[in-house]
Structure 1
Amino acid sequence: MALRANTRTTVACLLVGLGALLVVAAIMVPFYTVGRLAKTPLDLEITTIATNAPNTPSEVMDAKSLTTGDGPVKIDTNAHLISQRYLTVEDPSGADSMTVQAGQTLRRIDVQGDTGLLTATIDRVTIDRKTGFPIDADDNGTIALQVNTKGQSVAETVRHTGLQYRFPIGTEKTSYPFFDINVRKSYDMKFVEETQINDLKVYHFRQEVPVTDLSKVANSATNKVAVDASKWGVEGDGLVTMNRFYGNTRDVWIEPQTGTIVKGQEQLNVFYARDAAKPEVTALKATLVMDDKTVNSQISTAKHFMDELSLYGRIIPIICGVLGLILLVAGVLLGMTHRPAVARDPLR
C-alpha cells in the first residue's frame, strides 16, 4: 500500500511539473521563436517579371534614329516590354541586417538581340531584417548604371533612405517612405485600401514620383543630349540640348503580416525636354505590371512565411497551453485523492 501511495505521489508531481513546463513554453515560444522568425529570411532568391498592362500606351524612342538617318527621331508605338528583376542576398548579412542585391533590366521583346535592351541596373542596399529599412550609414548602398571597357559594372555609392524590396513585418495602414533608384530619393508610399488578391488579404499603396531632371541626378550621356533641331523634330536650326526627365506612379500590394510585395505596377513617363513642364520627345511611356506567374509565386512565398509565424506564434502555444493546463489539473487532482493509510490497532 505504501508503494502505491508513493507511486501516485510521484506521478502527480511529474504531471504538475510537466504541465507547468508546457504552460511556460506556451508563454515563451511566441516571444523567443517568433521574434527570430519575424525577420526577412537570409536565403531570398526571387525573380520577378513585369510586362505591359493591357490596353495601355506603350511608346519607346528608337535611340538609333536620334543619331542616324535624315528624318526626325522615331517613336515606336505598341512596343512589347518586359522588366525582369533578380534579387539575391549578399555579404555582409547577419542576424539583424542583410544586404540585398537586385539586378534589373528593361527590354523590348519585339526586336532582336541587344538592340532591345533599354536599361540595366544593379542596386545594392543593406537593410534591417525586421523593418525593411536601410541601415543608418552613408555607405548603405550602391547603384550601377554603366560598365567599364571590360564590360564590368561600375557601382556608385548612393545612400538609400526608404523601403524598396520588402515592407516591415506587420505592415500598417499608413504611409512609408519608398526609395526610387532613378531619382535616388524617397517619396511617400501612401496607403490606398485593403483588398484581396486570389483570396489573400493585401494592403494597396501608391507612390507619386514627381517629374525629375535626371541630368541632375546621374552623370550619364543619355541624360543630356545635344542633336540638331531637325532630329528632335522641333523648330530652329543648329544643335538643341534637351534633358531627360522621369516621372512614375508606382502601386504595390503588400501582404501585411510578412511585408511581402505580392504585386507591383509602374506607370512610367520618361521624356526629353528643355522645360520639365513642356515634354517634347517621348523616351518611354508605358505601364508595367507583374505577371500572373510572379504574383502567384509571391503569394506562395507570403503564405509559407505566414504559416511559420502562425505555427510558432499561435498553434504551438495554444497546444502547449491546453495540454499544460490538463496535466496540471490532473496532477493536482491525483495528489488530492491520495490519503495516507491509517494503521489498525491489533488489539481491536
Structure 2
Amino acid sequence: MRKIAGRVLIAIGGFLVVAGLLTTTWAPGVVKKTPVDVDQTTRLDGTATKLGETFPVNVTSITKADSEASTDDTTIWVNTSCVVNAASGDAPDCVDGKDDRLVSATVGTFATDRVTALGRDHENLPEGSTPYEGIVNKFPFDTEKTDYPYWDGTLGRTVDMVFVEETEMDGLAVYHFASSVQDEAIEIAEGTPGTYSQAVDIYVEPITGAVVNQEQSQQRYLEDGTQVLDLDVAFTDDQLATSVSEAKDNAASLTLITETVPRIGFIGGAVALVLGALLLLVGRPRPATSPRAAAMPA
C-alpha cells in the first residue's frame, strides 16, 4: 500500500508542478490580453452650459471591438459617444443632428495593442483613419504608478496622464491619474477658431487596467472670450457600482490564474513529491539478516 500511495503522490506532485509551470509561463500571455469580443456601454451624467444656458446632460459611450478586423496582437475598436440634454428627464441615449437636445456626437475607429493597451496604427483601420496613440479606453494590465501618454481626440495628440495616488473605491484598490490642458487652440466649428481646456481624472483597477471611474471637465471659448461650452460629467452612480463590481471579479480571476494556481502547484507539488518519495523509501524491504551474523556474540 505504501508503494501505491507513494506512486500516486509522485504523480499528483508532478501534475501540480507542471500546472504551476504552465500558469507561470504560458497563462499570463493568454489571459492578460484584451479580448476581441468586447461590447461595452458606459454612462456618465452631469451638467453642461452651452451659449449661456445650463442644463443636465447624459453621456453614453458605446465601445465595441471589431472581432473580424482584430488580430492576435491588436484590437480594432469602434466608439460612438453622445451627449444629450437631459432636462426633459426622459432623454434617450442619443438623438439625431436635427434634435435640439443633441449637445455633441462623435464616432471614432482606432486600434490598440492587446497587451499594452496603447493606441497604434494598423492596416485593418479604415482608409483615412487617424491612428490614435497612448492610452485610449483602458490602461495596460499590471498598471504601474507612473505617467502615461493619453489620447486627446479634440487635440488629435497625446497629453500627459499623471499618476496622482493609490486610493480605494468601495473596497477596491485603484490608481488615480489626472491630465490637464489649458487654452489650447482648436476649431470650435469649421472655420471658427477658439480655445479648449480640459481636466480629466481617471481611476484604474491596476491588475486589469480597467477604468473604474472617470471625471471630466471641459470648456470651449471663442477667440473673443465668449464661452461656447462648459461640461462637467462623471460616471453615473449605477455605472460606478457596476464598474467596481466587474473590476473586483476580473481582478480576482486574473490573480487566481496567474498567482494562486502557480503557488498551489509549486508548493503542493513539492510536498506531494517529497511525501511520495518518502513512502517509496520506507516501503522498500529491508535486507535479511544472515543466521551467522545473528548468532555472533555482541
1:224 maps to a residue whose letter is G
Q: Which residue of 2 aligns with 1:273?
A: 223
| Alignment check: 8 A CA contact 1:246 1:271 kept | yes
Match of 1:329, SS?
helix
How far does residue 156 in structure 1 lie from its aligned partner after superposition? 4.9
Q: Which residue of 1 aligns with 2:59?
A: 83
Alignment of structure 1 residues 229-248 onto 2, 5 Å: 243-248=193-198
Q: Which residue of 2 aligns with 1:342?
A: 288
Q: 1:126 to 1:303 in 2, by over 3 A?
A: same
1:295 maps to a residue whose letter is L
Match of 1:157, SS?
coil
**Partners in 2 of 1:140 and 1:253 — Cα distance?**
31
**Partners in 2 of 1:327 and 1:110 — Cα distance?**
67
2:132 maps to a residue whose letter is H
Q: Which residue of 2 aligns with 1:37?
A: 31
Q: Does 1:282 align with 2:227?
A: yes
How far does residue 80 in structure 1 lie from its aligned partner after superposition? 1.1
Q: Does 1:59 align with 2:31?
A: no
Q: Which residue of 1 aligns with 2:257?
A: 312
Q: Which residue of 2 aligns with 1:116?
A: 101
Match of 2:238, SS?
helix
How far does residue 101 in structure 1 lie from its aligned partner after superposition? 1.4
How far does residue 341 in structure 1 lie from its aligned partner after superposition? 6.1
Q: Does 1:23 align with 2:13?
A: no
Match of 1:214, SS?
strand
**TM-score, reference length from structure 2:** 0.85
Q: Which residue of 2 aligns with 1:228?
A: none
| Alignment check: 8 A CA contact 2:9 2:273 kept | yes
Q: Does 1:292 align with 2:237?
A: yes
Q: Which residue of 2 aligns with 1:101?
A: 78
Match of 1:310, SS?
helix
How far does residue 135 in structure 1 lie from its aligned partner after superposition? 2.6
Q: Once the two structures are superposed, what CA deviation does each residue of 1:173-219 show, in whole Å capped at 9, x if it has no partner?
A: 1110100111111100001111111111111111112323323xxxx
> What is the count of residue pairs matched by the alignment?
282
How far does residue 17 in structure 1 lie from its aligned partner after superposition? 3.6
Unaligned stretches of 5+ in structure 1? Answer: 1-6, 62-74, 143-154, 226-242
**Partners in 2 of 1:223 and 1:214 — Cα distance?**
10
How far does residue 254 in structure 1 lie from its aligned partner after superposition? 0.7
2:161 maps to a residue whose letter is M
How far does residue 270 in structure 1 lie from its aligned partner after superposition? 1.0
Name whichever of 17-26 and 116-125 sits farther off: 17-26
**Partners in 2 of 1:141 and 1:266 — Cα distance?**
28
| Alignment check: 8 A CA contact 2:111 2:131 kept | no
Match of 2:277, SS?
helix
| Alignment check: 8 A CA contact 2:2 2:279 kept | yes
Q: Does 1:224 align with 2:209?
A: no
Q: Which residue of 2 aligns with 1:252?
A: 202
Q: Does 1:133 align with 2:123?
A: no
CA RMSD of aligned residues (A): 2.5
Unaligned stretches of 5+ in structure 2? Answer: none
